[in-house]
Amino acid sequence: MKGVKTAMLGTIERKDGTTQVTYAGWPLYTYAGDRKAGEDNGTDSKAFGASWYPLHSNGKKAGH
């Protein structure tokens, strides 16, 4: 991703013991409905008890 700051990348251990990649402290996920780079079809979806947003390279959530 253009503009990604490697210092903002990290990982956390999930409750199930697996590793989760983070950016600026936010867990990163992919959305099954996105088929190509730049798509954000999952933006503001309410799944698993939370709203979902893409992130800007500065680590702030991108909302529509």
6: containing domain: 1-30
> Taking the model in full, what pTM does it have?
0.73
43 located within any domain: no
8 located within any domain: yes
The domain total for the chain is 1
Q: Quick check: 15 pLDDT over 60? A: yes
d(CA 39, CA 14): 26
Query: Residue 33: which residues within 8 A CB-CB, separation 6 or more?
Result: 39, 41, 42
Q: Quick check: 53 pLDDT over 80? A: yes
Q: What is the mean pLDDT of residues 26-37?
A: 87
| Contact call for residues 43 and 64 (beta carbons, < 8 A) | yes
d(CA 59, CA 9): 10
39 located within any domain: no
